[in-house]
Amino acid sequence: MAGIRVGVVGGTGYTGVELLRLLAQHPHVELAAVTSRAEAGTAVADMFPSLRGRVALEFSDPKAAPLSECDIVFFATPNGVAMGQAPELLEAGVRVIDLAADFRLRDVAVWEKWYGMRYTAPEWLEQAVYGLTEVNRNRIRVARLVANPGCYPTAVQLGFLPLLERGLVDTGHLIADAKSGVSGAGRKAEVHILFAEASDNFKAYGVAGHRHLPEIRQGLAQMCGNPVGLTFVPHLTPMIRGIHATLYARITREEDFQRVFEDRYRNEPFVDVLPRGSHPDTRSVRAANLCRLAIHRPGDGDTLVVLSVIDNLVKGAAGQAVQNMNVMMGLDECAGLEQLPVLP
């Protein structure tokens, strides 16, 4: 088949280069443009030598790039950019996947509260489809605009999903204790992610409230059909990639919980339910579009513990975005995403 013409807006961050890595290996993709105002005219491979020989483009200014001629455009930009630039492309018939948070939350007032800026594209928010593929695959297939989920929300929602869909736990008292590598903070210079600050250290942050909290609550509420009570505490860990979410829920109805998870994800190519008693680690999914899950019931008590691990840059961002592209464009969902995890 002819190549799908793809544009990437904002290709200079960690999510952007991960997206380029995956797209450069995709059998059905023709990269048409990679934009960056600051780096316009610079060869992509000069900034990212890992792409040498695979990506021959230069960064271009978004105003000069042939984005309107693309079949699909990814926005790997800071929050607030896509809602300003995507509408023109959407009106021209281009399909869009936003890897930032611009179209994730359904309530404009909630979005403005958490992201601290005025929302400017409410008409497109109504049409956006939340891109958690394992939940919204049929809607994604026909979507013009997909809001790619955040990294923490992906790990947490996939971990709770089978329990909430089946009504097996108390939805008023859910707990998500999550840890992320420093690449989750983005490719920028900030004191708290300097090597001397983040290495050999471990800390919680955003305990009073994190931007991903309303996104997670929104998704979980849709799964069970009612508002949920969620305590979400993120932590920064001294590693580059990976998210580990330890999820707690009080059991309200007895089932074979291992079988519940296995049945729910049996036909999902990018969710791996591990055998009973397993403890997934983040490096088991490093550089792969995988979520690995394990289910525990400590002491046969009334609390279920779900362990969920993803690579925050792949299944938590760029890989999931490519997965959504495959569904939107009628391709094999696994196309370009069959890389094995990297060890060590």
Q: What is the pLDDT of residues 233-258, one digit of tens each?
A: 999 999 999 999 999 999 999 999 99
Structural domain count, the chain: 2
Q: What is the CATH number of the domain that holds 193?
A: 3.30.360.10
- Predicted confidence at residue 2, as pLDDT, reads 64
Whether residues 198 and 299 share a domain: the answer is yes
Residue 98 in domain: yes
SS3 readout for the chain: CCCEEEEEECCCCHHHHHHHHHHHCCCCEEEEEEECCCCCCCEHHHHCHHHCCCCCCEEECCCCCCHHHCCEEEECCCCCCHHHHHHHHHHCCCEEEECCCCCCCCCHHHHHHHHCCCCCCHHHHCCCEECCHHHHHHHHHCCCEEECCCHHHHHHHHHHHHHHHCCCECCCCEEEEEEECHHHHCCCCCHHHCHHHHCCCCEECCCCCCCHHHHHHHHHHHHHCCCCCEEEEEEECCCCCCEEEEEEEEECCCCCHHHHHHHHCCCCCCEEECCCCCCCCHHHHCCCCCEEEEEECHHHCCEEEEEEEECCCHHHHHHHHHHHHHHHCCCCCCCCCCCCCCCC
Whether residues 105 and 172 share a domain: the answer is no
- The verdict on whether omega for the bond into residue 280 sits within 30 degrees of 0, i.e. cis, is no
Q: Report, as ranges of residue numbers, the positions in the chain whose pLDDT lies below 50.
A: none
| Catalytic residue, candidates 151, 224, 291, 334 | 151
Residue 338 in domain: no
151 counts as catalytic: yes
Whether residues 49 and 160 share a domain: the answer is no
Give me 74's structure tokens. 């990814």
Q: Which domain holds residue 63?
A: 4-127
Whether residues 102 and 161 share a domain: the answer is no
